[in-house]
Amino acid sequence: MNGKTLVISGGTRGIGRAIVDQFAENGVNIAFTYNSNEEESKKICAEIEAKYRVKIKAYKLDILEPESYKAVYEEIDKDFDRVDFFISNAIISGRSVVGGFAPFMRLKPKGLNNIYTATVLAFVVGAQEAAKRMEKVGGGSIVALSSTGNLVHTDNYSGHGSSKASLETMVRYAATELAPKNIRVNALSGGPIETDALRAFPNFEELKAEVIKRTPLGRMGQAEDMAPIALFLCKKDSYWINGQTIIADGGSSFT
């Protein structure tokens, strides 16, 4: 892993931030995107460089404008000589999901379209651009962050859950078509993970209590639980895993 390069969307907090640390600890250079918090991005870069002595750069990206990925990758090309891994992690929240984060009878096309754009279309463009660069270095690994919300009912989550189901289908198609280029594509699906995005749910405390109750391992998932699995899916050790959705939820999707 030493000296290779990861491109990850949404690297400033939550699962994305944990993945940045995990890969940097293993000697991987990092190109991560952020939405609006430039100061936090600069702080993260300084911390990672000082702690792990790897190269790290931050790039502004609006995942509701997937085509803007192309310009981001052009900037990455100026700063890094290779791309080996791409992790599609960034999500949207707040006003952008109004009409998408709601009970079924209150869903609106605009909110649903925004969620689909940020979840599926952003993955497609980001992965396409990454694959072009991976092919030049002999292959690579692509990971899309998914959610068990497309398997287990979660209040107000139908917009996200349906988009995550579409994402997992897209992953299987990408995996099949990119395999001849030695590029593997998988999805990593977490049960409810205690992140800032989840804490923004209006019923977070109720949701957390219910998740803990139904999880055999007896707690809620943390961002740090997901990062090592993302790393594994990019290592040669996982070479025979392709086109799969790896569920990491403490067993909660079965109970």
Alpha-carbon gap, residue 234 to 46, rounded angstroms = 25
Two structure tokens written together for 20: 């940045």
Query: Would you list the DSSP string of 168-195?
Result: HHHHHHHHHHHGGGTEEEEEEEESSB-S
For residue 222, give the H/E element and its range.
none
Per the annotation, the verdict on 157 as an active-site residue is yes
CA–CA distance, 135 with 128 (Å, rounded to integer): 11
Q: Active site residue: 69, 70, 164, 239, which one?
A: 164
The CA distances from residue 198 to 19, 58, 85, 92, 232, in Å, are: 18, 24, 26, 11, 25
57 is catalytic: no
Look up residue 24 and give its two tokens: 């940097």
Catalytic residue among 157, 208, 213, 239: 157
> Strand (E) positions, 124-251?
140-147, 183-190, 245-248
From 112, 133, 125, 136, select the one nearest 174 (Cα to Cα). Answer: 125
Strand runs labelled E in 61-113: 85-88
Question: What residues are labeled active site?
Answer: 157, 164
